[in-house]
Amino acid sequence: MKMLWTLALKELRDGFRNRWVAAAIIVLGILALVLSVLGSAPTGSVRVSELDISVISLASLSVYLIPLIALMLSYDALVGEFERGTMMLLLAYPVTRWQIIMGKFLGHVMILSIAIVVGYGGTIVALTLVSGSGTEGWQAYATMMASSLVLGAVFVAMGYLVSVTVRERATAAGAAIGLWLVFVVLYDLLLFGVLTMDEEQQIGQQLFSMLMLANPTDSYRVLNLSLFEGISEAAGIAGVASEAGLSGTLLISSMLAWIILPLVTTLLVFQRREL
């Protein structure tokens, strides 16, 4: 446990040193600030709280941004150390390979947590204090923050898998972008296309649910946009989750599986790897 902590702390320090943490906080903070301020305009007389609006806009954008940040943190984590030669030295120390993976994971998740808590959380707390608006809907906002962290962890784990399988850092960067495109953009585009063409409704409720669960970014979207009643109405996708039979637990479990699976695979590949 002490080993894990030492390894995680190193990643965290690296994150602070190379301004990663600061950059992520600023990006997420500005995003939260702009969307909350802009978002408060159209609420008008509708019975939607400002926080709910913030959740909708923030969640819609986080789906793109959080995976990107997570992948940028993680794609280099292993291949970079192989390429520079520091892994050889690290492995000559009394650390096991799983400790190295888990230590890095812990460190990177801590970086994401800080960025999300300070960037998203800090901004909204400051805004609430300044404007004196209500805290109605804070549960949805908290859920959005927590699930953003889980989404980030998913892509950190996926980034490791890329990082342990390729031979060069440049390849890892390319593969990470590819991963992002597939999970964040192409999957939904394809699904949307298929659903539009599917006039005879061959894709049933069940298949649709499966497809939502199969992609962690969609799980995240459904979780944040349609699980809370006020939000799902405002987001225009009322009842999607309940009709599709997707509960919060199921969605979170699917995302957790998307963390564990790549992490375990990374470890197995790393164990076999010869330096």
Partner 1 sequence: MTQLTNQPVVSLDAVSKSYGRETVVSDVSFNIQSGECVVLVGHNGAGKTTLMKLMLGLTRPTSGSVEVLGGNPAFGKAVAQHKNLGYLPESVALYEAMSGREVLAFFARLKGVSVVDYEQLLETVGLADAAKRRVGTYSKGMRQRLGLAQAMLGNPRLLFLDEPTTGLDPGLRHQFYELIEGLHEAGATSLISSHALSEVEARANRFIIMKSGVVIASGTLDELYLQAALPVRLKIAVAPGLAGSVAERLGSEINISAISDTTLSVSCFNGDKMSLVRRIGELGDLVDDLQIKPPKLDEVYSHFMNRELS
Would you say 87 or 175 has its CB closer to partner 1?
87
Tell me which of 44, 94, 132, 204 binds partner 1, using CB under 8 A.
Answer: 94
Q: Which region among 6-14, 138-146, 147-155, 207-215 touches partner 1 (by CB under 8 A)?
A: 6-14
**Residue 203 φ then ψ, to 5°:** -80, 105
The one among 10, 106, 177, 264 contacting partner 1 by CB under 8 A: 10
Which residue pairs from 33-36 have beta carbons closer than 8 angstroms and sit at least 24 positions apart in sequence? 33/123, 33/127, 35/61, 36/123, 36/124, 36/127
Among 147, 82, 108, 143, residue whose Cα is nearest residue 263? 108
The count of chain residues that interact with partner 1, using the rule CB under 8 A, is: 24
Q: b or e along 95-104 (b: 16 or more beta carbons within 10 Å of the residue's beta carbon)? A: eebebbbbbb
d(CA 18, CA 1): 26
Binds partner 1 (CB under 8 A): choice among 97, 113, 126, 169: 97
Q: Which stretch binds partner 1 (CB under 8 A): 56-64, 88-96, 187-195, 232-240?
A: 88-96
> Which of 6, 139, 247, 253 touches partner 1 by CB under 8 A?
6
Least gap, CB of 107 to partner 1 (angstroms): 12
Least distance from partner 1 to the Cβ atom of residue 178, Å:
27
- Name which of 12 and 124 has its Cβ closer to partner 1: 12
Where do runs of H (alpha helix) occur along the chain? 2-17, 20-39, 50-74, 79-84, 86-91, 97-116, 123-131, 138-165, 169-180, 187-197, 205-214, 216-226, 229-235, 240-243, 248-272
CB-nearer residue toward partner 1: 3 or 257: 3
Could you list the residues that contact partner 1 (CB under 8 A)? 2-3, 6-7, 10, 13-14, 17-18, 84-86, 88-89, 91-97, 271, 274-275
